[in-house]
Structure 1
């Protein structure tokens, strides 16, 4: 008696036979290999926290770390992330910086160079820390 179901797929065989350029029905390249690993709850929680800080899923965060380690360039692997998930404090800082830039525009219109320069400094002070946190993505 065969214990495997007829439609079950052996992951090892599937990985060997997988087309490296496989894509979804929409024609976009897809991630076609599932890699499962076991880890302690502590490590899993640390990975989840680091991924959340970077606005990524845990899987995307680990993929990026692995690509850095093996020096691989893979747009398909690098692309996956949670779009538009910025921490609320960053959203507040960005909106404040945009308001500062509006004040810079007003200062330029009034030919008030010191106020324009001060507004640019405040906007830079808000945006540069955010950009530095996201630079490695």
Structure 2
């Protein structure tokens, strides 16, 4: 960092160290996971709610899209398929690779297009 320049302004410049019991920490982690956010984001959102505040900066982490289990299973399958295509690709079997890529696309495109639209 150039000592002549001011340090960059971070969106969330303050850290609050909070000691928690193991039980409370586990419950926060579970609730955050259920809501699809990080533990820190979950706590920030609860604090904003409790204080009746609105803060775009504090709420910016937002919810992560929840991917239903069936879609996660389908995604895992296409990842395996992509790995399996390495063999035919290295042997120059273009037709086999293209067929595999078509199967991958048939799963990936609908899931990606619908991310964040439900569940």
Give the number of the structure whose alpha-carbon radius of gyration is greater: 1
**TM-score, length-scaled by structure 2:** 0.50
TM-score for both structures, normalised by structure 1:
0.44
